[in-house]
Chains A and B, each alone.
Chain A
Amino acid sequence: MSVLHIAEVTKTFSGGTHAVNSFSLDVADGELVCLLGPSGSGKSTLLRMVGGFEQPTSGRITIDGEDVTHLPPERRPTGMVFQSHALWTHMNVFKNLAFGLKLRRMPAAEIREKVEAVLELVGLAGYGDRMTNQLSGGQQQRVALARSLVLEPKILLLDEPFASLDQHLRERLREEVRDIQQRLGITTLFVTHGQDEALSMADRIVVMANGKTEQIGRPDVVYRDPKTPFVAGFIGTMNLVEGEVKNGHFARSDFSFPLSIADGPATLAIRPEALDLTVSETPKAKVHRVTDYGSHGLVDLDLADGTRLKSMVAHPDLFRTGQGVDLEPRAVAAYRNNQQIFRS
């Protein structure tokens, strides 16, 4: 039973950078929350404040009701996995894992037992005698994870732990971490700027921009219903079209679409898979390029004023470059002043 509570936390660095700006988040017991955002959005800073490596300028962080805001890292019940594994190269794998337990004055037999159990958990049974430089990148990250897990922290913090690994390994480790996290039921905060990582692992996603929350929600909800144009553009591929609404019609260049909202400027968001194309005699857009991915195709189109759109089609062989096509959005969302004002 471990709950993380972050209330109105702000971090201003000495240079005046507002890395995190009045950020609040509650993480429930056993939940895995992903912090997702572009580079420089303050994800690492936030995580480091939870781990105790940075002091918040203001705000409060509590774990299970206990205020840890001003505790140093060594006295917090958190375990952190760093981006570059940060293993201690002068110790072998066993000693890396045993170090924290030794500091807690645990008897040697018990340490051995625990270390072997956790090595088994991360799939590295029998690797205790290896030096850290005799491991592959993926194995090193597993040791780093095991080093945190062996201390049974209340909150597990991971800062882009797989960023330096290749795509294949990343996907495998992602699943392993998710399995372990669910098996142990450990409350986890996970930083990534890979949206597929967030979408596939998280119970909830926090999309951050400029140190602030843009949207918090379940991955499928955030994907299907982005609440701000930033989230719409950041999660998945999205066509964002700026235009004018007049008399219940959104218009941009030759493209117009019935939209029953008040007149004024608006941004229309359409997923490529929700934009249908038909070959037409009175075209609104021109095919720029067709890419066949086998299972589906992606068509790049240009409106008359050069605005580029993407459409996902089932039969890419129906279209070729230069062809005129008509557009038929099936589902759209509209934004004005950074707020969602319409969704179909």
Chain B
Amino acid sequence: MSEFVERAVSVPAETAAGRRPIGLLLVAIPVFLVIWLVIWPAINAISRTIWRTDADGNSSFDLSSYAFFFSDRYSLDNLAITLWTTLVCAVLLLVICLPIALYLRFSHGRLPAYVQALAILPMFVPSIILAFAFIRVLGPNGMVDILLNAVGLPKIRTPYLTPWGPVIGLVWDNIPLTVLILLSGLGSVANQSIEAARDVGANTLRVFWHIILPRISNSILVALSFSVLGIFSSFTLPYLLGPASPEMLGPFMQRTLRDVQDPIGAMTQAVVAFGFCILFGLFYVRSVAKNRGK
């Protein structure tokens, strides 16, 4: 049996003998990079947080860093604010991007082209610049304050350095990708299938709910999981715009590593974040598989 398999495998290998090393090389590079940069550090981090070396140099199984994380009020607050920010951003992204994508898909002429350009623009603006623009406009004594002051109105309560600061920045940052993914999903909804629905008596809302939404549910899922994963582990915007306490996991990790000089603590936070991302990933894979099965 195995002999047969070997021979069967070796036949194409001989004919493609010249091409084989190149193919292997092409596959090897990304595989190597993934192992080196992702899998190895992950395993390393996990093992170093659960196999701890004590003062005498004996290593032993030890979950104390996790026990600390999940009992420490401050760590838990940070985890909560991270989850809250991610959830609020996901909801806002959907509420903002779906109407934009629908508008772009179903209207004609020149105006939609400009709207699309505008919606995609944030993709080309680096987060740092975005953060400073945010501060100049919405921050204390920013443009909005100056304008309000000019017409004799009181200042706004600025979202800068509140949990809403990162939310606004992250939503803005993620609009382009979300719009593009939703738009490509809407592209697969045929005009005639919508007209057929109107023909049998469905108004705009019903067409959206019964015909369009089921067809793009996968795209919504893809768009949301992309942005959710990015937002959950984001650093720059929460660091520059968010409050000092509680803070999102990104800045929290950075501070634990640099300022507190507690590498094991930072690694534990990273492993927890990694775990949540894997949970999101599993949810995504399961939903897509369920949709496929339908």
Contact = CB atoms under 8 A, between A and B. Distances in A.
B294 A99 contact: no
Interface stretch (B46-54, B68-76, B80-88, B188-196): B188-196
Given A90-B214, A90-B215, A90-B294, A147 B200 contact: yes
Contact of A86 (B193, B206, B210): B193
B199 A78 contact: yes
A194 interface: no
A88 interface: yes
Interface residues of B, number: 18
A87 B193 contact: yes
B111 to A, nearest CB: 14
A104 B196 contact: no
B120 interface: no
A151 B201 contact: yes
B202 A74 contact: yes
B203 interface: yes
Nearest to B194: A86
B198 interface: yes
B196 A82 contact: yes
A100 interface: yes
B198 A73 contact: yes
Most buried by A among B190, B203, B206: B190
B273 interface: no
Interface string B199-223: 1111100100011001100000000
Given A74-B202, A103-B201, A103-B206, A80 B214 contact: no
Contacts of B211: 88
B200 A99 contact: yes
Contacts of A74: 198-203
B197 interface: yes
Contact of A88 (B193, B198, B203, B206): B193
Interface of A: 51-53, 72-75, 78-80, 82-84, 86-90, 99-100, 103-104, 144, 147-148, 151
Interface of B: 190, 192-193, 195-203, 206, 210-211, 214-215, 294
5 contacts: A79-B199, A86-B195, A88-B193, A90-B294, A144-B196
What are the 9 closest A-B residue pairs judged by CB atoms, nearest first? A100-B200, A86-B192, A86-B196, A73-B198, A90-B214, A86-B193, A82-B192, A103-B201, A74-B201
